[in-house]
Amino acid sequence: MSAGTASLVARFPRVQLAHLPTRIEPLRALTQHLGGPTLYIKRDDCTGLALGGNKTRKLEFLLAEALAAGADTIVTVGGAQSNHARQTAAAAAKLGLACVLLLRQNIQPDDRSFLRSGNVLLDKLLHADVRILAVNQEIAEARERVEAELRAAGRKPFFIPIGGATAVGCLGYVAAAEELIAQVDDADIHLDCIVHATGSGSTQAGLLAGLRALGNATPVKGFTTHLDRDEQEELVWSLVTETADLLQSVARPSRADVRANSDYYGGVYGVAQDASIEAVRIMASTEGILLDPIYTGVALAGLIHQIQRGRFGPKDTVLFLHTGGTPGLFGYVERLS
């Protein structure tokens, strides 16, 4: 975005929650360890709200929408160690709103700390009403019951879907695309690809919609955390279309721009795989940066493997978008140690 150009998101209501802009840093030690390509990282783990993460960007727009609707209670859903839920609870607390979290126990963990530490502990410290759902319990049914309960008590609930995956939520990463373009232009960095973990799809969709609206053709590759490639790409494409419509964009992503890889999460959401555990250890030991084994660790495992297979060469430059999730480490103490 050139100087003097209006922001794509300037006309949308927004509350200030995140510490922005987040830094782009070279990963010199990791680059050397892997033998190229040249790697950079964008530190969206450092957005500031309750240990940070990518969801804070989305919540700036989603919570503005909730306040405009007159809501006094936020309801959202996620897995037991949901980073989205933790950041939503923090944003609600900051804005004086109540928060109900419907967290599905999507796996039967070997680690007894899984439901007592990490994001679950932080949710409770943030004074959220945490309700753990059984593996087979329907989220839609639980949501309807909770919202009816709140309305009967005179409350005004506002529902945010898992991951903040709406066109309004995607605006957070449209704004991030503007920020990123300005940073790499100022630093004279030419990116051959942006890689990140993709789950609810709104980070990838917002990035793509923002980049293409600004005439930037950098490929964006998402490494999936719980869906196969075709399902993930369709999910992202639907959000891309809705976001581009909301922006009233002339320059829009094509279906071919939506690229996902589902080879590295292991087929079961929430189960830490060997490759992602190793990726967490590599990033920590080379760069002193902490990932998590379910999201960012999966993305780095995928990137490492693709470098090893020659998909990215020594002359390429790749940006790793760190979407946060560090608190989730503490839900996997036994597995990590």
Q: Residue 28, SS3?
A: helix
- Pairwise CA distance, residues 232 & 224, whole Å: 7
Question: Do residues 41 and 178 share a domain?
Answer: yes
H or E element, residue 130: strand 129-133
Question: Do residues 92 and 194 share a domain?
Answer: no
Question: Do residues 256 and 330 share a domain?
Answer: yes
Question: Do residues 171 and 135 share a domain?
Answer: no
Cα three-residue angle 291-294-300, rounded to 5 degrees: 55
- Pairwise CA distance, residues 306 & 311, whole Å: 5
Does 3 fall in a domain? no
* Number of domains into which the chain is organized: 2
The pLDDT value given to residue 110 = 56
Domain boundary residue, one of 164, 185, 210 = 164
Question: Do residues 187 and 267 share a domain?
Answer: yes
DSSP H stretches of helix in 130-273: 139-152, 167-186, 202-213, 229-247
Digit-by-digit pLDDT tens for the chain (337 residues) are 544 568 999 999 999 999 999 999 999 999 999 998 999 999 999 999 999 999 999 999 999 999 999 999 999 999 989 999 999 999 999 999 999 999 987 666 655 677 888 999 999 999 999 999 987 788 899 999 999 999 999 999 999 999 999 999 999 999 999 999 999 999 999 999 999 999 999 999 999 999 999 999 999 999 999 999 999 999 999 999 999 999 999 999 999 999 999 999 988 888 889 999 999 999 999 999 999 999 999 999 999 999 999 999 999 999 999 999 999 999 888 888 8
The pLDDT value given to residue 137 = 82
Cα three-residue angle 87-88-92, rounded to 5 degrees: 115
Question: Do residues 91 and 173 share a domain?
Answer: no
Does 17 fall in a domain? no
Question: Do residues 230 and 328 share a domain?
Answer: yes
Does 10 fall in a domain? no
- Pairwise CA distance, residues 23 & 42, whole Å: 6
ω into residue 157 within 30 of 0, thus cis? no
Residue 278 is part of which domain span? 24-53+166-336
Q: Phi and psi at residue 80, in whole multiples of 5°?
A: -55, -40
Q: Which amino acid would we find at residue 113?
A: S
The pLDDT value given to residue 107 = 65
Question: Do residues 72 and 185 share a domain?
Answer: no
- Pairwise CA distance, residues 299 & 1, whole Å: 28
Domain boundary residue, one of 143, 164, 185 = 164
Question: Do residues 326 and 275 share a domain?
Answer: yes
- The CATH number for 312's domain is 3.40.50.1100
Does 322 fall in a domain? yes
- DSSP per residue over 77-126, as a string? EEETT-HHHHHHHHHHHHTT-EEEEEEE--S--S-TTTTTSHHHHHHHHT
N residues, the chain: 337
Q: Which residue has the tokens 């009233």?
A: 248
Question: Do residues 218 and 292 share a domain?
Answer: yes
Does 226 fall in a domain? yes
Q: Which residues are catalytic?
A: 82
Q: Phi and psi at residue 259, in whole multiples of 5°?
A: -125, 125
Does 272 fall in a domain? yes
User: Cα dihedral angle (82, 60, 26, 233), rounded to 10 degrees?
Assistant: 60
Does 4 fall in a domain? no
Does 11 fall in a domain? no
Question: Do residues 117 and 33 share a domain?
Answer: no
The pLDDT value given to residue 109 = 60
Question: Do residues 195 and 301 share a domain?
Answer: yes
Domain boundary residue, one of 164, 192, 222 = 164
The pLDDT value given to residue 267 = 83
